[in-house]
């Protein structure tokens, strides 16, 4: 590194940043620019303070869950738009469909929105050969869904939309 006599500290600092980007350590910077030891000591202290600052800024735990919930809700809103024009007042979105290969069992985790309330459900593992049967089992497993279905006199149909399989209950 060529050092010109009387070079300004800001030019030296830029060179030091380049060197650090290349992987040089603080100690090496001191050795390369001994004339500016005091200035670099201050700069490195600032860098340390900034790095320490990082650990003090922690997002609240609830925020992550809030975002995930909001995304689930938005997903259903998006799906709902697909069926605009139909009289749909609830959406049953099968958001996770998992095959367990060793046992040939299917587990369906479901997400259900009704009157702005979110219900989550899943079926028990069971031997099944079709998605329809798995969904039917899920419906049976969750008494709340059955109750709403019966109260609202709705029909369920499986509709493929937005890369997701969705059961829409249409009046």
Is residue 71 part of the contact set for another protein (CB under 8 A)?
Answer: yes
Q: Which of 14, 99, 104, 124: binder of another protein (CB under 8 A)?
A: 14
Is 18 a binding residue for another protein by CB under 8 A? The answer is yes
- From residue 130, alpha-carbon distances to 21, 68, 97 in Å are 56, 29, 12
Query: Does residue 4 belong to the site contacting another protein (CB under 8 A)?
Result: no
Distances, alpha carbon 78 to alpha carbons 40, 84, 113, in Å: 54, 10, 13
Q: CB of residue 150 vs another protein: minimum separation in angstroms?
A: 29
**Cα–Cα distance measured from residue 120 to residue 105, given in angstroms and rounded to the nearest whole number:** 20
54 close to 139: Cβ distance less than 8 angstroms: no
Which residues ranging from 98 to 137 are in contact with another protein (CB under 8 A)?
A: none
Q: How far is the CB of 97 from another protein (least distance, A)?
A: 10
The CA distance from 123 to 106, in Å, is: 9
* Interaction site with another protein (CB under 8 A): 9-10, 13-14, 17-18, 21, 39, 42-43, 45-47, 49-54, 56-60, 63-64, 66-68, 70-71, 74-75, 78, 95-96, 162-164
């Amino acid at each position: 590194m060529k050092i010109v006599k009387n070079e300004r500290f800001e030019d030296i600092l830029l060179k030091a940043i380049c060197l650090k980007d290349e992987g040089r350590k603080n100690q090496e910077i001191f050795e390369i620019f001994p004339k500016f030891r005091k200035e670099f000591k201050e700069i490195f202290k600032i860098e340390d303070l900034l790095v320490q600052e990082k650990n003090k800024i922690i997002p609240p735990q609830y925020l992550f869950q809030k975002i995930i919930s909001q995304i689930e809700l938005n997903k259903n809103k998006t799906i709902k738009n697909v069926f605009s024009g139909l009289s749909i007042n609830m959406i049953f979105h099968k958001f996770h469909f998992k095959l367990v290969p060793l046992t040939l069992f299917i587990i369906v985790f479901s997400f259900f929105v009704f009157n702005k309330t979110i219900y989550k459900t899943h079926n028990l593992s069971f031997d099944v050969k079709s998605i329809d049967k798995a969904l039917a089992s899920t419906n049976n497993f969750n008494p709340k869904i059955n109750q709403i279905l019966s109260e609202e006199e709705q029909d369920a149909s499986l509709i493929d939309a937005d890369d997701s399989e969705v059961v829409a209950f249409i009046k």
